[in-house]
Structure 1
Amino acid sequence: MRKIDLIIIHCSATAEGKDFRAADIDRWHRQQGFKSIGYHFVVRLNGDVERGRPIAEVGAHCKGHNATSIGVCYIGGLDADGKMPKDTRTVEQRKAMRNLVKTLKHVFPEAVVRSHRDFAAKACPCFDATREYA
């Protein structure tokens, strides 16, 4: 098992209320030249957690930190018009993400939870995951 020291939280940068699946993100990422979806987990609007890239594989979600991180992406992150960053997490997503992070921290006790925006000039994930999951 590879050494994991970060759990990085992302949003899909999609409009509020529009649901997508890990398969959709996989298709988008392949269209951008990725070998497959860059995230390890995707949390849908209803709270379903879908697997993306296998944990044993290095992700493609945060430049400079992929080798030692797990990428978690929730569907949403933009207002209903799809233009402005917004914390669009549903109650179900919040619960599912909290449970997923708890599980990942159990498997990787040394890992620290961080927001993608901590590493890139982006609003992603449109809330302060670093503080929320501290």
Structure 2
Amino acid sequence: MRNITEIIVHCTATPRSRNVSVAEIDSWHRQRGFNQIGYHYVVALDGTVHRGRDESIAGAHCLGHNAGSIGVAYVGGIETDGTPADTRTPQQRESLTALLASLLRRYPGSSVRGHRDFAAKACPSFDATAEYARLCKGYHAT
């Protein structure tokens, strides 16, 4: 079993309201040389949570952090003109919070961070560390 200490939130960097499937993301990642989708979970526009890579396999989503993390991406993250923006739908917000809470229960003591905390990118186009800090506190051992 992998030692998970971080849950890293991403966006797909696709325009607001453009739905993207796990199969499409998998194709993009394979074109980049990955053997499969790099994220463990993808949250669709309607809030449906889709499995990507199995949790038992290290992700391919955050250089230097893949071995000890779970990668979660929401569909969206940019405006139609390419400007980074928090495009999460209300359903995505709700599902993302529920998914993160579930992962924190399974991996107590883990932190939730945004990809931008580790790379010079806007991804996930909002401050995931700040937004989910309170959620993390509820699952840290005292």
| Structure 1 length-normalised TM | 0.98
Paired position in structure 1 for 2:13: 13
CA contact (8 A) 1:78 1:84 kept: yes
| CA shift for structure 1 position 80 | 2.2
Q: CA deviation at 1:21?
A: 1.1
RMSD (CA atoms): 0.5
**Count of aligned positions:** 133
Take 2:30 and 2:2, find their aligned partners in 1: how far apart are those partners? 24
Write out aligned runs for 1:66-77 (5 A). Answer: 66-77=66-77
2:125 maps to which residue?
126
Aligned to 2:138: none
Alignment-derived partner of residue 100 in structure 2:
101
**Aligned counterparts of 1:57 and 1:23: Cα–Cα separation in 2:** 18
3-state SS of 1:9 partner: strand
Aligned ranges for residues 1-134 of structure 1 at < 5 Å?
A: 1-81=1-81, 83-134=82-133
Name the TM-score, length of structure 2 as normaliser: 0.93
Percent identity between matched residues is 56
Runs (4+) off by over 6 Å: none
SS of the aligned residue for 2:67 comes to: helix
Q: What amino acid is the match of 2:107?
A: F
Structure 2 runs not aligned, ≥5 long: 134-142
Unaligned 5+ segments in structure 1 are none
State the alpha-carbon separation in 2 of the partners of residues 32 and 60 from structure 1. 11
Q: Could you give the per-residue CA deviations for residues 75-130 of structure 1, whole angstroms, max 9, x where no partner exists?
A: 0000023x100000000000000000000000000210000000000000000000
